[in-house]
Amino acid sequence: HLLFVAGSDSARAGRVLRNGPAALLPVTECDLGLQQGSVINFRIIDERVRFDVSLDSAERNNVKLSSRLLTVANRVVKGAS
């Protein structure tokens, strides 16, 4: 399952992600999305949509990410971000 938390309110995203089901792919679009527990966080950089990936969150949620996805990510975070 995929859970997309829309909006820039990182506190709201954190609440939703903490209370969501365990087996899911959390995706956000807020400044602190990865720190709140998201696996993928979309951002606007130079008027383009980019995304960051948290390997720790992916592992916690039992989500397997392809190497091709990681190659095109803006930033891949492992450990504390």
| The model's pTM | 0.84
Cα–Cα dist 9/71, whole Å: 28
For 45, list phi and psi in degrees, rounded to 5. Answer: -130, 120
Residue 80 inside a domain? The answer is no
Residue 10 has pLDDT above 90, yes or no: no
Which of these, 68, 5, 79, 80, lies nearest to 42 by C-alpha position?
5
> What total of structural domains would you count in the chain?
1
Residue 81 inside a domain? The answer is no
The string of pLDDT tens digits covering residues 26-43 is 899 988 889 988 999 999
Proportion of the chain above pLDDT 70, given as a percent: 89
Residue 17 inside a domain? The answer is yes
> What's the Cα-to-Cα distance from 77 to each of 6, 19, 21, 54, 81, rounded to whole Å?
21, 23, 23, 5, 6
State which residues form the domain around 62: 2-75
